[in-house]
């Protein structure tokens, strides 16, 4: 079994590519920055998906509103 692949940590592929000569301290700081960045991107994507879902629900419910007086609007 290849132990070098098992020893790899999250972010190593990106750090190897963009910071090949970084020290261990620099790599740890960069790894923490990557973790924070990924967390923010995930929160943004989740919020956008939730808003899109809620807008679809509102659009469906808007057509179901019935008027008690007056003509029914033509769609």
Instruction: Dump pLDDT digits (tens) for 37-73.
Output: 999 999 999 999 999 988 888 877 766 555 566 566 6
For the chain, what percent of residues have pLDDT higher than 70?
73
- Mean pLDDT value across the chain: 83
Number of Cβ atoms within 10 Å of the Cβ of 11: 17
Spatial distance between the Cα atoms of 47 and 42, rounded to a whole number of angstroms:
9
Tell me if 52 sits within 8 A of 44, measured CB to CB.
no
Of residues 64 and 27, more confidence is placed in: 27
pTM passes above 0.85: no
């Amino acid at each position: 079994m290849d132990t070098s692949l098992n020893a790899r940590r999250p972010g190593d592929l990106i750090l190897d590519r963009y910071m090949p000569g970084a020290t261990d301290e620099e790599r740890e700081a960069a790894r923490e920055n990557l973790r924070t960045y990924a967390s923010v991107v995930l929160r943004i994507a989740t919020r956008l998906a939730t808003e899109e879902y809620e807008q679809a629900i509102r659009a469906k419910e808007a057509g179901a509103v019935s008027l008690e007086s007056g003509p029914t609007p033509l769609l």
